[in-house]
Amino acid sequence: MSETTALGVAQAKRWYWQRISALVLALCVMVHLALMIYAVQGGLSGAEILGRTQGNWGFAVFYAVFVLACAVHVPLGLANIAREWLGVGESAAWWLARGVGLLLLILGMRSVFAVFTGGS
Amino acid sequence: MSEPLNVRLWRGGEDGRFVSYEVPRRDSQTVLDVVTHVQRRIDPTLSYRFSCRVGMCGSCAMTVNGLARWTCRTHVSKVVGSDGQLEVGPLAHLPVIKDLATDMSGFFDKWARAQGQFSGTQTRHDDFAQVRPDSAQRQAASAGIECIGCAVCYASCDVVAQRPDFLGPAALNRAWTLVSDERDKAQTERLRAVAGDAGCHACHTQGSCTERCPKQIAPTLAIAGLKRTVARAAVRGKL
């Protein structure tokens, strides 16, 4: 396989992961919205949120999956935008994307961990 | 007698400018009629392309009031602005040779890069290939084979503008008609040629190509088909 073909196939796989993570996100967003609408009924407090999430494996797993999907989907999209609107080169766009992906993963998982354990 | 038409035509190369001409209005006048009038009666140095002048060859494609279209099939009355303005320029996203004529070699090179050529294995000594015309695959191929390479879709696509190496709707549409052709035996090479950001995967499904195609072809659908086929092949390790 030539270098151009290998690059093309890699880009095709990225596109594929963009679509898969979008599917996951569509589901996660709908569940999250429904949850939020339910949760804000009659007001909302930090204690109320933690009361639901603390020690709750269901919530932890759900939001961990949500974070993972974001960490895949967002960098792919940002790299494309950087390429098409800012004229950033292929390699530079990908390093930018990986950086953002890592940031989202760390911040996201920290949040999931925090609401699961109930904070310090 | 109605007011004369004020038309602005692009003169010069990439760094040219619009020049105004006054052209008599006529019933059922097309934009090609207007351009022809300018070249024959006003300024013979105007360069433009046309051939059949009856909406079959696609040679007269130009940018009319910002949109790519066949000028022989565009009635002035349908596109002239409320201020009586008509602006005609060369097709977008192609190098300008002079005035309204563009260099289309890049457009056709991309056609070749998308493996837009049929590769069969039968010879004259073999029997005819038996292809069912009502199969889904053949219908998909037939839906796209009427393309005459006029570049209206190419000129209408934002991704073509933003990614210089993007093969474009016409080339990818042609690739799809061959991917859908059961007689063709170069499928792996073709899928490799159209995979990636220079190929079908950069398409954002903007749909301008399908909207503007004068032959009602849908390159958007063809590209979606290529995406599906490449994904399937990649997942099965066939790429």
pLDDT band for A120, please (50, 70, 90 cuts).
low
pLDDT band for B193, please (50, 70, 90 cuts).
very high
pLDDT band for A119, please (50, 70, 90 cuts).
low
Q: Min CA distance, A72 vs chain B (Å)?
A: 17
Per-residue tokens: A54:
């603390």
Where are the CATH 1.10.1060.10 domain residues in chain B?
105-235
Q: In the CATH scheme, what is the code of domain B105-235?
A: 1.10.1060.10
CATH class of A14-117: mainly alpha
pLDDT tens-digit readout, A38-76: 999 988 888 888 988 899 999 999 999 999 999 999 999
Give the whole-number percent of chain B exceeding pLDDT 90: 93
Residue B202 confidence (pLDDT) = 95
Could B192 and A8 be called an inter-chain contact, meaning their C-beta atoms sit closer than 8 Å?
A: yes
Beta bridge partners of B6: B22, B85
Beta strand pairing call for B5-11 and B85-89: parallel
DSSP class of residue B40?
A: I
Where are the CATH 3.10.20.30 domain residues in chain B?
5-102
Instruction: Confirm or reject contact between B234 and chain A (CB < 8 A).
Output: yes
DSSP string, B148-204: ----HHHHH-HHHHH-TT---HHHHHHHHHHHT-TT---HHHHHHHH-STTTGGG--
Q: Is B42 helix (H, G, I), strand (E, B) or coil?
A: helix
Chain A residues with beta carbon closer than 8 angstroms to that of B239: 5, 9, 12
Residue B31's nearest CA partner among B43, B48, B17 is B48
Could A8 and B235 be called an inter-chain contact, meaning their C-beta atoms sit closer than 8 Å?
A: no
> By the 8 A CB rule, do B70 and B214 touch?
yes
CATH topology of domain B5-102: Ubiquitin-like (UB roll) (3.10.20)
For range B87-107, the mean pLDDT: 98
Distances in Å between the Cα of B2 and the Cα atoms of A97, A110, B78, B97, B146 are 60, 74, 16, 35, 39
For range B205-210, the mean pLDDT: 97
Residue A32's contacts (CB-CB under 8 Å, 6 or more residues apart) are A66
CA B127, CA B71: separation in Å to the nearest integer?
Answer: 44
Residue B68's nearest CA partner among B175, B152, B183 is B152
Burial class (CB in 10 A: 0-12, 13-18, 19+), B190: buried
**Cα nearest neighbour of A10 on chain B:** B196
Residue B237's nearest CA partner among A13, A76, A23, A2 is A13
Instruction: Confirm or reject contact between B163 and chain A (CB < 8 A).
Output: yes
CA B160, CA B144: separation in Å to the nearest integer?
Answer: 20
Could B201 and A12 be called an inter-chain contact, meaning their C-beta atoms sit closer than 8 Å?
A: yes
- Mutate which of B115, B197, B223 to disrupt the A interface (most A C-beta within 10 Å)? B197
CA B172, CA B113: separation in Å to the nearest integer?
Answer: 10
Amino acid at B182: E
pLDDT tens-digit readout, B135-166: 999 999 999 999 999 999 999 999 999 999 99
